[in-house]
Amino acid sequence: KVDDCEIVSLPKIHNNAGNITVIENNITIPFDVKRVYYLYDVPMGSERGGHGHYELQQYIVALSGSFTFVLDDGICKKEVFLNDPSKALHIRPGIWREIKNFSSGSICLVLASAMYSEEDYLRDYNEFLNYRKDDTSTF
- Quote the CA–CA distance of 69 and 80 in Å, as a whole number: 5
Q: Which of 49, 65, 85, 93 binds ligand TYD (CB under 6 A)?
A: 49
92 — alpha (psi -120 to 50), left (phi > 0) or beta?
beta
Q: Which of 5, 33, 39, 62 binds ligand TYD (CB under 6 A)?
A: 39
Q: In the annotation, is 14 catalytic?
A: no
State yes or no: residue 40 binds ligand TYD (CB under 6 A). no
CB of 136 to ligand TYD, least distance (A): 27
State yes or no: residue 81 binds ligand TYD (CB under 6 A). no
Which residues, in sequence order, are bridge partners of residue 61? Answer: 109
- Quote the CA–CA distance of 72 and 100 in Å, as a whole number: 14
- Quote the CA–CA distance of 14 and 20 in Å, as a whole number: 7
Nearer to ligand TYD, 17 or 46 (CB): 46
Residues classed as catalytic: 51
Binding positions for ligand TYD, rule: CB under 6 A: 35, 37, 39, 48-49, 51, 116
